[in-house]
Amino acid sequence: MKGHPPERSIHVPLVVQNTPRTALEVVDGLAAAGVATVHEAQGRTGLLRSGIRPIFRPARVAGNALTCEVAPGDNWSIHIAVEQARPGDLLVVTPTSPCDDGYVGDLLAGSLRAHGVRGVVIDAGVRDVAALTEMGFPVWSKAISAKGTVKETPGNVQTPIVCAGVYIRPAAAVLEAALKREASEASRRPRLTGGELGLDIYDMRGRLADRGVRYVEFPESP
User: By CB under 8 A, what part of segment 44-103 binds its own copies?
Assistant: 44-45, 47, 49-50, 53, 57-58, 60, 71-74, 76, 79-80, 82-83, 96-102
Which amino acid, one-letter code, is at 4? H
Residue 125's DSSP bridge partners are 102, 143
- Compute the Cα dihedral for 161, 164, 166, 168 and give only its sign: negative
Residue 127 within binding range of its own copies, rule CB under 8 A: yes
Residue 150 within binding range of its own copies, rule CB under 8 A: yes
For its own copies, how many residues bind (rule: CB under 8 A)? 114
Q: Considering the complex, what minimum distance in angstroms separates the CB of residue 200 from its own copies?
A: 9
List the one residue from 31, 32, 61, 115 that touches its own copies (CB under 8 A): 115
Here the contacts of 46-49 (C-beta below 8 Å, separation 24 or greater) are 46/166, 46/171, 47/166, 48/121, 48/123, 48/140, 48/163, 48/164, 48/165, 48/166, 49/123, 49/164, 49/165, 49/166
Query: How far, in Å, CA of 121 to CA of 47, rounded?
Result: 12
Q: Whose CA is closest to 27, among 68, 64, 70?
A: 64
List the one residue from 27, 89, 121, 158 that touches its own copies (CB under 8 A): 158
List the one residue from 105, 117, 118, 175 that touches its own copies (CB under 8 A): 105
The reply to whether omega before 87 is within 30° of 0 (cis) is no
List the one residue from 87, 167, 173, 176 that touches its own copies (CB under 8 A): 167
Q: Considering the complex, what minimum distance in angstroms separates the CB of residue 154 from its own copies?
A: 5
Query: How far, in Å, CA of 14 to CA of 92, rounded?
Result: 16
Residue 24 within binding range of its own copies, rule CB under 8 A: no
Residue 173 within binding range of its own copies, rule CB under 8 A: no
List the one residue from 87, 136, 162, 176 that touches its own copies (CB under 8 A): 162
Residue 181 within binding range of its own copies, rule CB under 8 A: yes
Residue 187 within binding range of its own copies, rule CB under 8 A: no
Query: How far, in Å, CA of 60 to CA of 38, rounded?
Result: 13
Select 25 or 216, whichever has its Cβ closest to its own copies: 216
E strand or H helix at 59: none
Q: Considering the complex, what minimum distance in angstroms separates the CB of residue 5 from its own copies?
A: 5
Query: How far, in Å, CA of 188 to CA of 48, rounded?
Result: 27
List the one residue from 23, 87, 130, 173 that touches its own copies (CB under 8 A): 130
Residue 209 within binding range of its own copies, rule CB under 8 A: no
Residue 183 within binding range of its own copies, rule CB under 8 A: no
